[in-house]
């Protein structure tokens, strides 16, 4: 019987090893280890043997069964691994086959991106963000800002007038400054606000002018505000927005709604102040205007200039957008060509 | 305003380098727009005379010019300018010269003709902006003379300054010199020309009267005899040229020279032509006519000022332009000289209305100096004396309304408080005295206040704040220090601003790009978009295509889609958040609203079938509404204007229209030449965001098992899926946690005009497992409700 068992084990082991797939292995397993297998038959015959033989053969039988079971487990693992490899190979994808190359996201307009960044910097500096209407009346756009009718300074803005009300009384705001007036009417000081928005001038479109463009304006009204606070705030904004290598300077200028008034320059962001073509070798870029709120402006909104003082500043958003990305023509911002919009 | 360093030095011993002077000028608020070193880099450029002009045989944009350098030889030059005549003296860059811009002059052949040098424009010589032609040299400088010598510009520097409207004083060489001298701490010396008078006294020959004192503050007249009108001396003509004025004749040139030097515009009359030798000043009468110096007949209004003669005939427009009838000519021997101070506002209005802006009107409207008239007249006479004219004894000065120049009280403490630096009264005085501010009282009064007299040449300066600005300017803005405002405060965006950012982010996530079309439309744009109706218009548009204020964002987005389509870009989806305006029926201010609009081309929808765009638009709308956590939004398919009649509807918020969604009418798309279907979403943000939104209360998630059932109802096409879904939800109650339409089917077996809507329902209770009978009851409740409400049958 020993020989028979050994023969049986050798045959069974060979069949297990030869099983080509999981189904075949399962059939072999039933065949050699199942209830109707020769191994089971042999076990049944153990009862007719003497105790010594029975113990020896029984031991051998158990060993053979364990070995065959282990062989099945091992073979199954092999076959599963092979099957998985084949399956994975069959599932191969070329991930660079992009049949729908359309972008999966849209793009915020460059002006919006720039405006959001500016707002975020000023919010970080403790400012709120205020807005106002784009169609304004003469009082908000000019008179309240210390620009009475026929003031020569009106020539600084080419105004687009709306056909409504008294002639030339309704207009498209030429700057965001009327929002200053509205904020001061609505909110009691202290005021720390920036006012971004769209403004209009009667300018023919070219590489650096558009009849429609965007500005951001700032207004601070509090007790004891000084010209030094204006300089400090603009310097803080300058390094927050442009980076710590870029600094600001103020030069005397004139605006009807501020006094003292100043031009706000920053180190040229292209050469960081060493002089290049963009800054005409000066090392500086003119960014905007600023100054201490004029007493007549305070008078227009009923704020006592002896108790409160303040400053205002403003500059263009669109130019910053162009500068950041090296766009050399302002008109590109407004063609709405998606080949432009999707670049940013 | 242009100034020459050599001219500035006639007023103050300026000894800093040209570059440092430029920096000081900018820091004083006189921004240097350009700085040119004259005479430098002009080696090899000499005076030549034009001998002959011939057309180029083979090119018509250039001509052949023969010039003589003084050696008697004719040298041929090919030249692209045509403004010179035979006999003119012009600058010639000889062979081997390196031009100021670095270009090297070589012998060249242009279309077969040799060019032996280059004739130069003023710009090419670095002498100003005039590049309209070759610079014709004034006078008759010797041939072959180096150009710097011929122009008298050896080692000079020309600055072009940007002068702000509040600095009338800096519209003169003397005024700029005064500022610079103060900054550099060197003395400023105003001119004091001494002129001897001779001949018949002015009295009895000339007189002045001011009828309207609110037009003219001061009028001074003098008479010059023995005048010969000829060419100006080269030095004077050169200075005018460099400062941007064309030399005309000796008298006009002196007039301009005095204006540039002292900032005082002036006018000369041929005394013989002034009836009665009388100059009167009054407002013009409406419709009054005058022929001005430029030989144009102009009709005046009562807003213009005039100078009239003894017969009350207008012979000049006050402060703007003289009249032709009394113009100086070669025959003039006696000149009546006008020096006046005009009301700035009057001149501003008049020159704007007449469209005549001149060097004179620019100075008058900023406010000239009424105290410089007498000096300017003497300076005029001094320069005219060099041409042989003599000043008649006697002066007429008549005053009208002059601005009040009483000293103002300036609080030392106020200066310090506004500037954020401590100043003493003495320091303020030290800064302002050098630019002519007067301090009649003690530096620090008992109350820390001192009286400050503002100089007559600072018309714009009249208040304490004006003085504060002067202190800051003279001290130097950069030296005022820098600090942060003191108060602790908190910055933030408003809810509206946060919502707007959210909507943008969601749209960008949905692969929609943000566009920024112009808010102006052409008059036909609204009609071709199917949106007729009143729109606000501009009074003074740049072009008729930009004359209407949009009432809707749709035309702008359709134009953008058409633009992209014309560049063969497909898959375009755009949105805009912007303002629209509706005109006021009573003619007042137009109403302004903020609107969100999305336009989706079918090719951007990613779906198949001709309904892709419309379905995409509804998905976008639903996503936006969900993002805002806004409740009460429904669709009503009513075909809003300009949209596809059977594929569009109003967006309702609690039953009130706040927008529209759906396909654009195919006829509108054809109008805009858009080759594919387009759907839009439009939302009135003012209305939409006024409703409560953004609240997201926590809903407990059930841990018990759920059951899914599918129900298909056959309903008429007129019954909306949304209505059926609403009925299902109402009938299902709290245990119905999800309803989703998953199939729409039409077929002959369902009958004409009917369709099957298949819904998947998920049932789940929060506190227990639903029993089979509970599920069965709920199912029946839903079926009964839908059948009753919508004439529906259950499809099995």
CA–CA min distance B435, chain A (Å): 16
Give the angle subtended at the CA of B456 by the CAs of B451 and B458, to the nearest 5°: 85
Q: Which of A161, A228, A260 sits opposite B483 (nearest CB)?
A: A228
Q: Which of A36, A56, A91 is the last residue of a domain?
A: A91
Alpha-carbon span B793 to B719, nearest angstrom = 13
Q: B563: which chain A residues are within 8 Å (Cβ-Cβ)?
A: 335-337
Band (A1; pLDDT cuts 50, 70, 90): confident
CA–CA min distance A71, chain B (Å): 43
Task: Please indicate, yes or no, whether residues A296 and A218 belong to a single structural domain of this protein.
Answer: yes
CA–CA min distance A306, chain B (Å): 9
Question: How far is residue A167 from each of residues A203, A225, B520, measured CA to CA in Å?
Answer: 21, 39, 20
Q: A212: which chain B residues are within 8 Å (Cβ-Cβ)?
A: 518-520
Q: What pLDDT, on the 0 to 100 scale, is given for residue A168?
A: 86
Task: Please indicate, yes or no, whether residues A208 and A86 belong to a single structural domain of this protein.
Answer: no
Output the six-digit token pair for B231.
């060419």
Q: What pLDDT, on the 0 to 100 scale, is given for residue A103?
A: 63
Q: What pLDDT, on the 0 to 100 scale, is given for residue B733?
A: 94
Task: Please indicate, yes or no, whether residues A259 and A306 belong to a single structural domain of this protein.
Answer: yes
Cα–Cα nearest to B707, from B769, B652, B754: B769
Q: Determine how β-strand B321-322 pairs with β-strand A212-222.
A: unpaired
Mean pLDDT of A194-205: 95
Task: Please indicate, yes or no, whether residues A213 and A282 belong to a single structural domain of this protein.
Answer: yes
Task: Please indicate, yes or no, whether residues A160 and A308 belong to a single structural domain of this protein.
Answer: yes
Output the six-digit token pair for B388.
């042989």
CB contact under 8 A, A134 and B572: no
Q: What pLDDT, on the 0 to 100 scale, is given for residue B40?
A: 72
Mean pLDDT of B92-117: 87
Output the six-digit token pair for A212.
């429609």
Task: Please indicate, yes or no, whether residues A165 and A270 belong to a single structural domain of this protein.
Answer: yes
Mutate to test the interface with B, among A162, A166, A334 (most CBs of B within 10 A): A162
Is the pLDDT score of B71 beyond 90? no
Q: Which of A91, A118, A138 is the last residue of a domain?
A: A91
CA–CA min distance A316, chain B (Å): 16
pLDDT digits 0-9 by tens, A77-136: 999 999 999 999 999 999 888 877 666 899 999 999 999 999 999 999 999 999 999 999
Give the angle subtended at the CA of B767 by the CAs of B761 and B772, to the nearest 5°: 50
Would residue A100 count as lying in a domain?
no
Q: What pLDDT, on the 0 to 100 scale, is given for residue B122?
A: 84
Burial class (CB within 10 angstroms; exposed 0-12, middle 13-18, buried 19+) of A343: exposed
pTM greater than 0.90 (yes/no)? no
Cα–Cα nearest to A292, from B268, B764, B485: B485
Task: Please indicate, yes or no, whether residues A157 and A217 belong to a single structural domain of this protein.
Answer: yes
Output the six-digit token pair for A322.
């162009």
Burial class (CB within 10 angstroms; exposed 0-12, middle 13-18, buried 19+) of B496: middle
CB contact under 8 A, B483 and A229: yes
CA–CA min distance B557, chain A (Å): 9
CB contact under 8 A, B494 and A235: no
Task: Please indicate, yes or no, whether residues A154 and A285 belong to a single structural domain of this protein.
Answer: yes
Q: A155: which chain B residues are within 8 Å (Cβ-Cβ)?
A: 352
pLDDT digits 0-9 by tens, A210-267: 999 999 999 999 999 999 999 999 999 999 999 999 999 999 999 999 999 999 999 9
Considering only alpha carbons, which residue of chain B is nearest residue A132? Answer: B592
Would residue A176 count as lying in a domain?
yes
Q: Average model confidence (pLDDT) for chain A?
A: 92
Q: How far is CA A14 from the centre of its chain?
A: 64
Please list, residue by residue across B38-65, b when 16 or more beta carbons sit within 10 angstroms of its beta carbon and e when fewer do.
bbebbebbbbbbbeeeeebeeeeebbbb
Task: Please indicate, yes or no, whether residues A138 and A239 belong to a single structural domain of this protein.
Answer: yes
Q: Average model confidence (pLDDT) for chain B?
A: 93
Greater model confidence, B488 or A31:
A31
Band (A287; pLDDT cuts 50, 70, 90): very high
Residue A179's CB is within 10 A of a number of other CB atoms, namely 24
Q: What is the DSSP letter of B263?
A: S
Q: B541: which chain A residues are within 8 Å (Cβ-Cβ)?
A: 160
Q: What pLDDT, on the 0 to 100 scale, is given for residue B387?
A: 85
Is the pLDDT score of A271 beyond 90? no
CB contact under 8 A, A134 and B579: yes
Report the SS3 class of residue A83. helix
Q: What pLDDT, on the 0 to 100 scale, is given for residue B488?
A: 64
CB contact under 8 A, B482 and A228: yes
Mean pLDDT of B33-58: 87
Would residue A118 count as lying in a domain?
yes
Q: A131: which chain B residues are within 8 Å (Cβ-Cβ)?
A: 497
Alpha-carbon span B646 to B638, nearest angstrom = 8
- B464-475 and B425-432 helices, crossing angle to 10°: 80
Alpha-carbon span B328 to B235, nearest angstrom = 22
Task: Please indicate, yes or no, whether residues A168 and A308 belong to a single structural domain of this protein.
Answer: yes
Would residue A97 count as lying in a domain?
no
Percent over 90 (pLDDT), chain A: 74
CB contact under 8 A, B482 and A336: no
Q: What pLDDT, on the 0 to 100 scale, is given for residue A51?
A: 87
- H-helix segments, B433-544: 464-475, 495-509, 525-528
Our count of domains for chain A comes to 2
pLDDT digits 0-9 by tens, B520-566: 999 999 999 999 889 999 999 999 999 999 999 999 999 999 999 99
Would residue A105 count as lying in a domain?
no
Alpha-carbon span B360 to A67, nearest angstrom = 117
Cβ atoms A196, A213 nearer than 8 A? no
Task: Please indicate, yes or no, whether residues A142 and A68 belong to a single structural domain of this protein.
Answer: no
Q: Which of A104, A249, A254 sits opposite B164 (nearest CB)?
A: A254
Q: Which of B165, B501, B539 sits opposite A116 (nearest CB)?
A: B501
Q: Determine how β-strand B656-664 pairs with β-strand B643-653.
A: antiparallel
- H-helix segments, B685-771: 685-688, 721-732
CA–CA min distance A314, chain B (Å): 18
Task: Please indicate, yes or no, whether residues A84 and A153 belong to a single structural domain of this protein.
Answer: no
CB contact under 8 A, A162 and B478: no
Output the six-digit token pair for B260.
């540039």
CB contact under 8 A, A135 and B486: no
Is the pLDDT score of A151 beyond 80? no
Cα–Cα nearest to B342, from B300, B370, B383, B314: B370
Band (B347; pLDDT cuts 50, 70, 90): very high
CB contact under 8 A, B419 and A228: yes
Would residue A102 count as lying in a domain?
no
pLDDT digits 0-9 by tens, B714-751: 999 999 999 999 999 999 999 999 999 999 999 999 98
Residue B690's CB is within 10 A of a number of other CB atoms, namely 12
Mean pLDDT of B305-311: 97
Instruction: Name the helix (H) or strand (E) containing B391.
Output: strand B390-391
Would residue A323 count as lying in a domain?
yes
Q: Which residue has the tokens 């003289």?
A: B322
End-to-end CA distance of chain A: 85
pLDDT digits 0-9 by tens, B127-186: 766 777 888 888 888 888 888 888 776 678 999 999 998 999 999 999 999 999 999 999
Mean pLDDT of B49-77: 89
Alpha-carbon span B430 to A253, nearest angstrom = 22
Q: For chains A and B, count residue pairs whose Cβ atoms are closer than 8 Å.
A: 246
Q: Which of B481, B491, B515 sits opposite A228 (nearest CB)?
A: B481
Instruction: Name the helix (H) or strand (E) containing B636.
Output: strand B633-636
Q: What is the DSSP letter of B98?
A: B
Alpha-carbon span B8 to B730, nearest angstrom = 90
CB contact under 8 A, B465 and A263: no
Which backbone phi and psi does B528 adopt, to 5 degrees?
-70, -15
Give residue B605's region: left, alpha or beta (phi > 0; psi -120 to 50): alpha
Q: Which of A91, A124, A148 is the last residue of a domain?
A: A91
Is the pLDDT score of B689 beyond 70? yes
Q: Name which of B531-545, B596-610, B623-637 the model is least confident about.
A: B596-610
Output the six-digit token pair for B384.
């005219």
CA–CA min distance B361, chain A (Å): 11
CA–CA min distance A213, chain B (Å): 10
CB contact under 8 A, B514 and A220: no
| Domain boundaries, position A38 | 2-91
CB contact under 8 A, A337 and B563: yes
Residue B279: partners with Cβ closer than 8 Å, 6 or more residues away: B206, B207, B208, B209, B219, B221, B269, B307, B308, B309, B315, B336, B338
Give the angle subtended at the CA of B68 by the CAs of B63 and B69, to the nearest 5°: 125
Q: What pLDDT, on the 0 to 100 scale, is given for residue A282?
A: 82
Alpha-carbon span B24 to B28, nearest angstrom = 6
Side-chain-side CA neighbours of residue A38 (13 Å)? 14
Q: A170: which chain B residues are within 8 Å (Cβ-Cβ)?
A: 589-590
User: Residue A164 maps to which CATH number?
Assistant: 3.30.930.10
Output the six-digit token pair for A341.
């919009």
């Amino acid at each position: 019987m020993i020989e028979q068992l050994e023969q049986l084990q050798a045959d069974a082991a060979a069949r297990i090893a030869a099983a080509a797939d999981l189904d075949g292995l399962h059939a072999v397993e039933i065949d050699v280890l199942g209830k109707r297998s020769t191994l089971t038959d042999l076990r049944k015959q153990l009862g007719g043997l003497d105790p010594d033989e029975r113990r020896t053969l029984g031991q051998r039988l158990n060993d053979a069964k364990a070995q065959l079971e282990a062989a099945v487990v091992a073979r199954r693992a092999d076959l599963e691994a092979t099957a998985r490899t084949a399956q994975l190979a069959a599932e191969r994808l070329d991930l660079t086959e992009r049949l729908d190359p359309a972008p999966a996201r849209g793009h915020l307009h460059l002006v919006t991106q720039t405006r959001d960044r500016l707002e975020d910097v000023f919010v970080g500096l403790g400012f709120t963000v205020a807005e106002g209407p784009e169609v304004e009346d003469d009082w908000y756009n000019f008179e309240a800002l210390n620009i009475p009718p026929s003031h020569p300074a009106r020539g600084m803005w080419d105004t687009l007038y709306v056909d409504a009300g008294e002639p030339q009384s309704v207009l498209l705001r030429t700057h965001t400054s009327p929002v200053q007036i509205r904020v001061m009417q609505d909110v009691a000081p202290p005021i720390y606000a920036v006012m971004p928005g769209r403004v209009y001038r009667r300018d023919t479109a070219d590489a650096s002018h558009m009849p429609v463009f965007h500005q951001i304006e700032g207004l601070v009204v509090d007790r004891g505000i000084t010209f030094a606070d204006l300089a400090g705030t603009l310097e803080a904004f300058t390094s927050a927005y442009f980076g710590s290598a870029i600094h600001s300077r103020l030069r005397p200028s004139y605006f009807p709604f501020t006094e003292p008034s100043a031009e706000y320059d920053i180190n040229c962001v292209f050469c960081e102040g060493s002089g290049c073509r963009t800054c005409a070798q000066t090392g500086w870029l003119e960014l905007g205007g600023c100054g201490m709120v004029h007493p007549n402006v305070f008078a227009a909104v009923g704020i006592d200039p002896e108790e409160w003082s303040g400053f205002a500043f403003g500059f263009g958003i669109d130019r910053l957008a162009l500068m950041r990305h090296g766009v050399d023509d302002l008109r590109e911002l407004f063609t709405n060509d998606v080949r432009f919009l999707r670049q940013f | 305003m242009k100034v020459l360093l050599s001219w500035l030095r006639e007023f103050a011993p300026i000894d800093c380098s040209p570059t440092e002077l430029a920096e000081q000028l900018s820091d004083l608020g006189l921004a240097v727009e350009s700085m040119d070193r004259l005479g430098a880099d002009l080696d090899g450029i000499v005076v030549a005379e034009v001998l002959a002009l011939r057309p180029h045989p083979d090119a018509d944009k250039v001509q052949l010019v023969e010039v003589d350098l003084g050696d008697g030889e004719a040298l041929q030059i090919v030249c692209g300018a045509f403004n010179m005549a035979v006999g003119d003296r012009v600058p010639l860059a000889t062979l081997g010269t390196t031009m100021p811009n670095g270009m090297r002059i070589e012998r060249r052949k242009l279309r077969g003709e040799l060019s032996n040098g280059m004739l130069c424009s003023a710009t090419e010589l670095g002498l100003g902006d005039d590049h309209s032609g070759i610079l014709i040299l004034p006078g008759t400088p010797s041939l072959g003379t180096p150009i710097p010598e011929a122009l008298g510009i050896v080692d000079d520097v020309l600055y072009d300054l940007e002068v702000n409207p509040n600095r009338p004083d800096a519209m003169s060489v003397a005024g700029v010199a005064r500022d610079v001298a103060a900054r550099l701490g060197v003395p400023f010396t105003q001119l004091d020309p001494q002129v001897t008078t001779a001949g018949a006294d002015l009295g009895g020959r000339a007189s002045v009267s001011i009828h309207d004192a609110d037009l003219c503050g001061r009028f001074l007249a003098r008479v010059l005899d023995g005048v010969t009108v000829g060419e100006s001396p080269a030095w004077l003509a050169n200075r005018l040229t460099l400062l941007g004025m064309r030399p005309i004749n000796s008298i006009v040139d002196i007039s301009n020279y005095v204006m540039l030097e002292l900032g005082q515009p002036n006018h000369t009359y041929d005394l013989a032509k002034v009836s009665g030798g009388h100059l009167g000043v009054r407002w013009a009468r409406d419709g009054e006519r005058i022929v001005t110096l430029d030989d144009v007949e102009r009709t005046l209004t009562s807003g213009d000022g005039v100078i009239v003669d003894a017969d009350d005939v207008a012979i000049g427009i006050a402060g703007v332009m003289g009249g032709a009838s009394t113009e100086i000519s070669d025959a003039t021997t006696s000149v009546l000289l006008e020096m006046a101070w005009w009301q700035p506002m009057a001149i501003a209005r008049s020159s704007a209305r007449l469209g005549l802006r001149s060097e004179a009107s620019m100075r008058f409207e900023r406010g000239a100096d009424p105290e410089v008239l007498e000096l300017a007249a003497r300076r005029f006479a001094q320069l005219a004396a060099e041409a042989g004219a003599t000043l008649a004894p006697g002066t007429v000065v008549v005053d009208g309304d002059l601005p009040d120049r009483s000293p103002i009280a300036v609080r030392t403490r106020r200066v310090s408080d506004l500037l954020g630096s401590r100043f003493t009264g003495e320091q303020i005085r030290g800064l302002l005295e050098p630019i002519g501010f007067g301090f009649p009282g003690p530096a620090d009064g008992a109350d820390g206040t001192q009286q400050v007299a503002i100089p007559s040449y600072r018309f714009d300066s009249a208040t304490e704040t004006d003085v504060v600005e002067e202190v800051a300017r003279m001290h130097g803005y950069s030296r005022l220090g820098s600090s942060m405002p003191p108060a602790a405060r908190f910055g933030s965006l408003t809810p509206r601003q946060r919502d707007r950012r959210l909507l943008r982010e969601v749209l960008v996530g949905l692969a929609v790009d943000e566009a920024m079309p112009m808010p102006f439309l052409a008059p036909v744009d609204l009609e071709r978009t199917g949106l007729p109706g009143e729109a606000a218009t501009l009074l003074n548009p740049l072009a008729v295509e930009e004359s209407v204020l949009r009432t809707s964002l749709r035309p702008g987005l359709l134009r953008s889609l058409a633009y992209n389509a014309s560049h063969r870009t497909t898959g375009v989806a755009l949105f805009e958040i912007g303002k629209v305006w509706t005109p006021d029926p009573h003619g007042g201010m137009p109403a302004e609203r903020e609107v969100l609009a999305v336009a989706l081309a079918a090719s951007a929808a990613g779906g198949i079938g001709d309904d892709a765009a419309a379905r995409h638009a509804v998905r976008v709308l639903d996503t936006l509404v969900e993002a805002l956590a806004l409740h009460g939004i429904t669709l009503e398919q009513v075909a809003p204007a300009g949209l596809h009649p059977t594929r569009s509807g109003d967006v309702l918020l609690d039953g009130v229209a706040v927008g529209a969604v759906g396909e654009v009418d195919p006829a509108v798309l054809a109008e805009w030449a858009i080759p594919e279907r387009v759907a839009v979403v439009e939302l009135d943000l003012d209305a939409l965001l006024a409703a409560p939104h953004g609240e997201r209360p926590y809903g407990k998630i059930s841990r018990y098992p759920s059951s899914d059932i599918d129900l298909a109802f056959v309903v008429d096409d007129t019954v909306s899926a949304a209505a059926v879904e609403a009925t299902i939800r109402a009938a299902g109650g709290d245990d119905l946690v999800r309803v989703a339409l998953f199939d729409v089917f039409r077929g002959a077996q369902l009958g004409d005009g009917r369709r099957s809507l298949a819904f998947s329902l998920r049932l789940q209770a929060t506190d227990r497992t639903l029993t089979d009978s509970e599920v069965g009851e709920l199912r029946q409740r839903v079926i009964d409700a839908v059948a009753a409400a919508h004439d529906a049958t259950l499809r099995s």
